Amino acid sequence: MIEWEFSTADLAGLRFAHSPMAEVVASTFALRGGPSAWLQAPWRSRVAPLLPNWPTLQAVLLGPRGYAPDFLTPPPRAGRPTLAEELAEVAATPLDQVAEQTIAGWAGYDTPPEIDRFARDPRAALAVLLAEIRAYSAVAIEPLWQRLRAAAEAEIATRARAAAEHGARMLVDELHPKLGWNGSALLLRYPDKQGRWSLDGHELTLLPTGFAGTEVYAMPDSPSGRTLWYAPRGYGNLWTSGKQSSAEPRLSALLGPTRAAVLTLLAAPHSTGDVAARLGLAAGTASHHLTTLRDAGLATTQRTGRRLLYQRTRLGDDLTAG
C-alpha cells in the first residue's frame, strides 16, 4: 500500500475535473485487457484492430513497459477542458521533456522507428503523435463522449452534494474500493507497491475517468501538478447497449414514462433546455416535469452562471435504483 500525504487542510485545494486526455490514455490501458475487459469487450473488439492506423500512438502508449508519458496528461487548467485545449497544452511541452519521457517508456528494449524519431526530431514526432491522438479519439472516444462526460458530471455533482450535506471529508471518502483516507493520507491499495508520497506543495486534482475501470491511476511526480484518476460510480453502464433496466418499467408505472425519463436523465446536471432537447419535449413540458420532481424532493437545483441545473437528490437516486 502507498500512503499519499493528504491532510484535512489539503481538502481546501482539492479540485475535480474531467479530462479528455485522461480518457484517451486510460482507454489505451484498457486495450491491454485487465479486470474490466469483459465490460469493454464490444468497444475493444471495434477499436483494437484499428491500432495499426496509429503507429506512433501505439508505440508511445502501448509500449512494453505499460508506461504513459506524463506530458500527455497535465492537470486540467479548467474543470471541463476540450480535447483541443488539452492537446494545445501538450504541444507546448518542452521538446527535451517530450523526448526524455517518450524514450523512457522503452528503456531496456529495442526501440521502433516511431520512438527513435523522438530522439532525432522531437518536434516532428510530437506533431505526428498529436495528429494520431486526434484520429484515435474520433474513433475510440467520441462515440462514447456524452456518456463519459455525463458520468463524470454526475460523480462530481454527487461528491459536491455529499460534501455540502455531510462535510468536506465526503469529497474523498469512499471514492473507490482501492482508495481510503485516514485524515492525514490517501491510502492507495496497490498490492505490489509500498511507499509514501507527498503533494510537495501542489494541489490535488481528482479526475473521474470512465476508462479507468477497476484501476486507480496516480500521477505523484508531474512538475505541473498532482492528479488521481478513478472511475465514477456506475461506470459499467458506459458500455451497455442502453436497454431498459429492471427498475425502469416500475419507475414509469409510478411516475409516468415521460417523468420517469426525466428523472433518469438527471443522474447528471441538466438545464430545462438540455432535458427538452434530449427527450424531444417542449420547453414548457420539460419545465413542468422538472418543477414537479423538485417539489417532490426527487431533484434539486443549482445555478451555474445563467443556467439553472437540475439533478437528482439521494431520494431520486434511490428511486431510480429500483
Name which of 249, 241, 278, 246 is nearest 262 in CA terms: 278
Q: What is 253-291 written as a DSSP string? A: HHH-HHHHHHHHHTTS-B-HHHHHHHHT--HHHHHHHHH
- pLDDT tens digits for the chain (322 residues)? 899 999 988 988 899 999 999 999 999 999 987 666 776 888 999 999 999 999 999 999 999 998 899 999 999 999 999 999 999 999 999 999 999 999 999 999 999 999 999 999 999 999 999 999 999 999 999 999 988 998 888 888 888 888 888 888 888 877 888 888 888 999 998 878 889 999 988 999 999 999 998 888 999 888 888 999 998 877 776 776 544 444 567 788 889 888 988 998 887 778 898 888 878 888 999 999 999 999 999 999 888 777 888 888 888 888 887 6
Q: Which amino acid is at 173?
A: D
pTM, entire model: 0.76
As given in the structure block, the three cell numbers for residue 53 are 492506423
| C-alpha–C-alpha distance, residues 20 and 117, integer Å | 26
Q: Which residue has the cell 476540450?
A: 82
pLDDT at 293: 95
The answer to whether 306 and 267 have CB atoms below 8 angstroms apart is no
Q: Which amino acid is at 143?
A: P
Residue 45, CB-side half-sphere exposure with 13 Å CA sphere = 6
Q: Which domains does the chain possess?
A: 2-15+147-236 (no CATH), 20-145 (no CATH), 244-321 (1.10.10.10)
Question: Strands 185-188, 179-181: parallel, antiparallel or unpaired by DSSP?
Answer: antiparallel
Q: Which amino acid is at 161?
A: R
